[in-house]
């Protein structure tokens, strides 16, 4: 109510200034209000839908965010362009008039402000950019960032094809590919961004350019982990792969199986160098209803073989309490994975990458009890999700031209990446739980460091807004990224783009 009152007041006071003739005069040093930015843009945009608070379209767009922390932010307006030309008009106007904005693709990043903004800015919602087409006789796929991976896979399925996208259907094409992107195919093919063959991108001055191996190869490299520093990508060109039959599914376990499970996972991760077609993910979660930890593992093999050897040797000796492993296709696994994480809750995440170790993840899970234990009557809960990041993944990326992540610096062939997620539903607990999550982050990092297990890399797509993601790519890469920034956005005009990680 407070925000609405303020917006109404602002409109009353400022409304008369928001006329066309002021479009020009904003660059003389006076920063327009967000409301004025919206009104001015409304007058010039050709193919965009502009939504204001109170409209059902505005409310619908907010409802599409994964985390309530983002869904409860109230931008002055939401602009949904349906062409790259309109994206260019918006960026050109916003950077020259210094209007603050955020950019949303699938809205699946968890932290507040990563892809939405409060009343002092507007949000560019890419949902209208849905073009998708096969090119080169089906060998490549051109996709726009308004698509979710679920939509991409549904388009590819009748062609018997797949690509290196997210493992959950609701995740957006844009955010996933600007942060890296771990796919079911990553051990063999590298991260999602390693596979991008061409970017169509709107630069800070509003020009629409392409970046690929042959053209602007510096920008091409930087965009593979570029976050929100270089421009808004309006098209990605990706390779396609045949969609194969596979074996896999989810297995549930009792908590006392966890130590053995993680030992098994370290072995699986090691064996991926022999056979990169497998994957194992383990998730341990506090159940606030039963006050116990629940445990699931995803076991997957990209060919129709049950428990392939040597990869999954010994896994069957650990008795599950339930399971869905079978020979199936990736679409079915994706649907299952879509159910695996809770929705419509407040959530805070953080991540760390560590030398493959069977003990650390469970110790981190148990630390959660110390930290959140006094929230007895709350539904607050936390999950620790662990998956391999192995040499195969790094070298697959290297082979495709490299990326800014600096993964080849780690001499550890065997790394695991840990995603810690905290969920709750009561907004009155938000301040307390956010503070506790930051404490949890520190405790977990310290534990990994004390044991000599911590590696430098911080994975953007799993990180908290407070983590130093770009610094973790190493000095060399940061220097290179800065040089690219200097070339394509020399005056840091994109400073008005909020969210993501800034150089
Ligand atoms: C249920 C669930 C499942 C997930 N599964 C996976 C997984 O399998 N593998 C994995 O690696 N990660 C996974 N993630 C993490 C996910 O990759 C990140 O949250 C990612 O940022 C989401 O992308 P998005 O487009 O939905 O997010 P958004 O919140 O819309 O965007 C994230 C960031 O990217 C920027 N951005 C978006 N589009 C563009 C663009 N076109 N140009 C420039 N910048 C842009 C935004 O401004 C923002 O800063 C998952 C997350 C959830 C919630
Ligand atoms: C926009 O910036 C790019 C990169 O710096 C430059 O090549 C291009 O000429 C600029 N376009 C305009 C219209 O100024």
Spell out the domains of the chain, with CATH numbers in brackets.
3-128 (3.30.43.10), 132-242+479-488 (3.30.465.10), 246-472 (3.40.462.20)
Q: Higher model confidence: residue 16 or residue 191?
A: 191
Q: What is the per-residue DSSP string for 173-216?
A: HHHHHHH----TTHHHH--TGGG--EEEEE-TTS-EEEEESSSS
The alpha carbon of 320 and the centre of ligand 1 are apart by a number of angstroms equal to 32
Q: In this structure, which residue's CA is closest to atom 11 in ligand 2?
A: 207
Radius of gyration of the chain (CA): 23
pLDDT in tens, 414-464: 789 999 999 999 999 999 999 999 999 999 999 999 999 999 999 999 999
CA 205/CA 273 separation, integer angstroms: 45
Of 142, 173, 174, 345, which is best to mutate to test ligand 1, by the most ligand atoms within 8 angstroms of its C-beta?
Answer: 174
Reduced to 3 states (helix: H, G, I; strand: E, B; else coil), residue 220 is: helix
SS3 for 298?
A: strand
Ligand 1: residues whose CB is within 6 Å? 66, 103-109, 114-115, 126, 145, 166-168, 170-172, 174-176, 178-179, 181-182, 228, 232-233, 341, 461, 499-500
| Pocket residue to mutate for ligand 2, from 95, 203, 483, 491, most atoms within 8 A of Cβ | 203
**Which H or E run contains 135?**
strand 132-135
pLDDT tens, position by position, 147-162: 999 999 999 999 999 9
Contact (CB, 8 A) for 348 and 422: yes
Question: In Å, how far from its chain's centre is CA 399?
Answer: 23
The structure tokens 């509003």 sit at: 206
Quote the pLDDT of residue 396.
87
Q: Examine the pLDDT at 16 and tell me if it is beyond 80.
A: no
Going by pLDDT thresholds of 50, 70 and 90, the confidence category of residue 28 is low
CB 256 within 8 A of CB 223: no
pLDDT at 335: 85
Compute the mean pLDDT over every residue in the chain, rounded to the nearest whole number.
91
- Containing 23, the helix (H) or strand (E) segment is helix 22-25
Tokens of 378: 């709350």
pLDDT-derived band at 294, boundaries 50, 70, 90: very high
Q: What sign does the dihedral 352-358-359-365 (CA atoms) show? A: positive
Ligand 1 atom closest to 232 (CA): 42
pLDDT digits over 483-497, tens only?
A: 999 999 999 999 999
- How many percent of the chain have pLDDT more than 70? 93
User: Cα–Cα distance between 48 and 248 in angstroms, integer?
Assistant: 43
* Å from CA of 189 to ligand 2 middle: 34
- pLDDT over threshold 50, residue 19: no
């Amino acid at each position: 109510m407070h925000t609405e009152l303020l917006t109404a007041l602002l409109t009353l006071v400022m409304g008369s200034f928001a006329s066309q003739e002021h479009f020009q005069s904003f660059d003389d040093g006076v920063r327009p209000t967000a409301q004025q930015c919206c009104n001015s843009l409304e007058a010039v945009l050709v193919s965009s839908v502009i939504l204001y608070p109170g409209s059902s379209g505005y409310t619908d767009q907010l409802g599409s965010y994964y985390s309530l922390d983002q869904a409860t932010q109230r931008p002055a307006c939401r602009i949904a362009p349906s062409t790259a030309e309109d994206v260019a008009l918006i960026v050109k106007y916003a950077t020259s008039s210094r209007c603050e904005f955020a950019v949303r693709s699938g809205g699946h990043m968890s932290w507040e402000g990563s892809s939405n903004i409060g009343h002092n800015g507007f949000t560019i919602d890419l949902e209208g950019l849905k073009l998708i087409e096969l090119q080169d006789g089906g060998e490549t796929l051109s996709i726009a960032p308004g698509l979710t991976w679920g939509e991409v896979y549904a388009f590819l399925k009748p062609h018997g094809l797949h690509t290196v996208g997210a493992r959950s259907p609701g995740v957006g094409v844009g955010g996933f590919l600007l942060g890296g992107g771990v796919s079911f195919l990553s051990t063999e093919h590298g991260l999602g961004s390693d596979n991008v063959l061409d970017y169509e991108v709107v630069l800070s001055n509003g020009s629409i350019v392409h970046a690929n191996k042959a053209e602007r190869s510096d920008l091409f490299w930087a965009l593979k982990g570029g976050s929100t520093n270089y421009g808004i990508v309006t098209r990605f060109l990706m390779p396609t792969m045949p969609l194969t039959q596979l074996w896999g599914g989810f297995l549930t376990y009792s908590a006392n199986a966890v130590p053995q499970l993680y030992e098994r996972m370290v072995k699986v991760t090691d064996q991926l160098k022999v056979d990169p077609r497998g994957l194992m993910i383990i998730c341990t979660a506090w159940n606030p209803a039963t006050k116990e930890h629940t445990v699931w593992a995803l076991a997957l093999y990209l060919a129709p073989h049950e428990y392939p050897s040597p990869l999954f040797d010994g896994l069957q000796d650990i008795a599950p309490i339930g399971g869905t492993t079978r020979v199936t296709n990736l679409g079915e696994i994706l649907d299952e994975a879509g159910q695996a994480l809770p929705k419509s809750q407040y959530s805070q995440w953080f991540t760390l990458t560590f030398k493959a170790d069977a003990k650390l993840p469970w110790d981190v899970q148990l630390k959660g009890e110390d930290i959140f234990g006094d929230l007895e009557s709350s539904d607050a809960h936390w999950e620790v999700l662990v998956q391999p990041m192995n040499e195969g993944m790094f070298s697959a990326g290297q082979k495709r031209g490299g990326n800014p992540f600096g993964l080849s610096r780690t001499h550890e062939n065997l790394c695991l990446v840990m995603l810690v997620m905290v969920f709750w539903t009561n907004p009155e607990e938000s301040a307390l739980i956010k503070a506790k999550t930051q404490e949890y982050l520190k405790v977990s990092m310290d534990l990994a460091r004390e044991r000599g297990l911590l590696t430098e890399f911080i994975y953007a797509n799993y990180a908290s807004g407070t983590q130093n993601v770009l610094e973790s790519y190493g000095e060399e890469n940061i220097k290179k990224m800065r040089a690219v920034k200097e070339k394509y956005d020399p005056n840091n005009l994109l400073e008005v783009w909020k969210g993501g990680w800034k150089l």
